[in-house]
Amino acid sequence: MTKPRPGGRVGLARLPSVDRVLQSEAGRTLIGAHGRTAVRDAARAVLAAVRAGRSVPAGAADPAWIAARCAARLEARAAASLRPVFNLTGVVLHTNLGRALLPEAARAALDAAAAHPCNLEFDLSAGGRGERDEHVEGLLRELTGAEAATVVNNNAAAVFLLLNTLALRKEVIVSRGELIEIGGSFRMPDVMQRAGCRLREVGTTNRTHRHDYEGAIGARTGLLLKVHTSNYVVQGFTAAASERTLGALARSRRIPFAVDLGSGALVDLAKWGLPAEPTPRRSLECGAHLVTFSGDKLLGGPQAGMIVGERALIERIRRNPVRRALRLDKLRLAALEAVLKLHLRPEELARRLPTLRMLVRPLAEIEACAARLLPALRQALGSSAEASIRPSACQIGSGSLPMNTLPSACLALVPGQRRKGAGLKGLAAAFRGLPVPVIGRIERDALCLDLRCLEDEAGFLEQLPRLRP
Ligand SMILES: *Cc1c(COP(=O)(O)O)cnc(C)c1O
């Protein structure tokens, strides 16, 4: 017997065949989990990689060694890319973390629509073709006071479709103070150009008056547009024409007036002591012909864009051929219907709608949660970081005013002296490396885990022993 050498031609010759790997015990287990084709391809890839290497690793002659490498490959591939995380960033509606969480009723409706055929565009009473908007139009009319409503993929699509329908090759008058950019490169002037409209800017960044709009109205005017400047504020010497003023102006000149509300809560949040957000109902009462808003911001539903307002204008929007490319699928339509239904019982909303439930969560409850978690967290961190409870300020997020914060509490983790600058980043990475990644925010000297949005306390605690700080 020659002694096996690690590497060289002798090593290569000793590699098992693909068949031997597949027939080994480890190979058969893998086939049970991933299927024969995938395991065969993985075995070929692992063997090819070993052959291409400069030396053959000592264990490579053993089919079980190859199978173990295959298992690692197959598991990495099978792991979902889109995964649940803990949002402890202190931003309740975090766009990068998927914004609103769906209430139970919406998840059930979504599941039913996914598993069964449904009357998406089928009129059950007449037995013929129906219109998908009908599942939510009545609810939106009731909740906003609008004559009619249509829904599309998201609010960006709603704005685009509205502009393209009402102001193609015409001018859209907008205040210079409202030419906003929303995260992810949604810039009002660019969207307008792509929608085929000419932007007619009026006023100045800080002050725009009724007469600015009035002076710009002419034969080519297609639309007056007001954009809710949700993600920033102009402070100090400022002036803006109100919705009521613009509504009256537009009506006297027979031009449509649209308001892009962005978040657009359907209920008055001030009822729960939250910062007031404009509602679509109020914009319509002020004279807007059309209002657009998102489904997954303060409405607390799935990604969607609502357009509500005058029936004749909604009909024109429905006839735009581009709408087909922007329409809502049955899953989100089912979820949206369920979320809108919850809004019909506002007294239960704070209990049933996760977004609102987190926004109204009392500070004392968040502090109590912090106190309960602190000992386990200290134990998991050992000497790598100091943990303490600190006051925190939560943002509503997704374009709601960044200065309207909600008092909250966080676990502040300060890395030990030895770790210096790299400590904070390393600590944040360790929390992201947990089976359900924990996303916090770095604030000065500490990694802050804001607890306003932590509802699954047990799930959070359960995985702490696996932290590798
Ligand atoms: C968020 C927002 C949008 C974009 O809405 P999406 O639903 O994210 O497409 C448009 N306009 C305003 C004012 C917004 O706040």
User: CB of 227 closer than 6 A to ligand 1?
Assistant: yes
CA nearest ligand 1 atom 1, residue: 262
Is 229 within a domain? yes
CA 442 to ligand 1 centroid distance, Å: 26
- As a whole number of angstroms, the distance between CA 336 and CA 460 comes to 29
User: CB of 262 closer than 6 A to ligand 1?
Assistant: yes
CA nearest ligand 1 atom 7, residue: 155
The pLDDT assigned to 2 comes to: 45
User: CB of 229 closer than 6 A to ligand 1?
Assistant: no
CA nearest ligand 1 atom 3, residue: 262
Do 135 and 266 reside in the same domain of the chain?
yes
Is 144 within a domain? yes
Is 298 within a domain? yes
Is 1 within a domain? no
- As a whole number of angstroms, the distance between CA 283 and CA 299 comes to 16
Is 4 within a domain? no
The pLDDT assigned to 419 comes to: 57
CA 7 to ligand 1 centroid distance, Å: 60
Tens of pLDDT, residue by residue over 5-17, are 444 444 788 899 9
Do 166 and 311 reside in the same domain of the chain?
yes
User: CB of 89 closer than 6 A to ligand 1?
Assistant: no
Which residues span the domain enclosing 423?
86-95+358-466
CA 293 to ligand 1 centroid distance, Å: 7
Give the residue carrying structure tokens 């909740």. 143
Residue from 93, 153, 182, 401 to probe ligand 1 pocket by mutation (most atoms less than 8 Å from CB): 182
Do 328 and 205 reside in the same domain of the chain?
yes
User: CB of 156 closer than 6 A to ligand 1?
Assistant: yes
Atom of ligand 1 nearest to the CA of 263: 15
The full 3-state SS of the chain, as one line of letters, equals CCCCCCCHHHHHHCCCCHHHHHHCHHHHHHHHHHCHHHHHHHHHHHHHHHHHCCCCCHHHHCHHHHHHHHHHHHHHHHCCCCCCCEECCCECCCHHHCCCCCCHHHHHHHHHHHHCCCCCCEECCCCEECCCCHHHHHHHHHHHCCCEEEEECCHHHHHHHHHHHHCCCCEEEEEHHHCCEECCCEEHHHHHHHCCCEEEEECCCCECCHHHHHHHCCCCEEEEEEECCCCCCCCCCCECCCHHHHHHHHHHHCCCEEEEEECCCCCCHHHHCCCCCCCHHHHHHCCCCEEEEECCCCCCCCCCEEEEECHHHHHHHHHCCCHHHHECCHHHHHHHHHHHHHHCCHHHHHHHCHHHHHHCCCHHHHHHHHHHHHHHHHHHHCCCEEEEEEEEEEECCCCCCCCCCEEEEEEEEEECHHHCCHHHHHHHHHHHCCCCCEECEEECCEEEEECCCCCCHHHHHHHHHHCCC
CA nearest ligand 1 atom 10, residue: 262
Which CATH number characterizes residue 122's domain?
3.40.640.10
Is 239 within a domain? yes
Do 73 and 90 reside in the same domain of the chain?
no
Do 201 and 302 reside in the same domain of the chain?
yes
**Low-confidence residues in the chain, pLDDT < 70:** 1-10, 182-184, 230-232, 400-402, 418-421
The pLDDT assigned to 59 comes to: 87
Tens of pLDDT, residue by residue over 164-184, are 999 999 999 999 988 877 666
User: CB of 400 closer than 6 A to ligand 1?
Assistant: no
Q: How many domains does the chain have?
A: 3
Does the pTM of the predicted model rise above 0.85?
yes
Do 371 and 270 reside in the same domain of the chain?
no
Atom of ligand 1 nearest to the CA of 229: 13
Is 176 within a domain? yes
H/E stretch holding 381: helix 363-381
The beta strand positions in 300-445, using DSSP E, are: 305-309, 385-394, 406-415, 438-439, 441-443
Residue from 230, 326, 328, 336 to probe ligand 1 pocket by mutation (most atoms less than 8 Å from CB): 230
Domain boundary among 324, 352, 380: 352
User: CB of 164 closer than 6 A to ligand 1?
Assistant: no
User: CB of 69 closer than 6 A to ligand 1?
Assistant: no
With pLDDT > 70 as the criterion, what percentage of the chain qualifies? 95
CA 297 to ligand 1 centroid distance, Å: 9
The pLDDT assigned to 1 comes to: 42
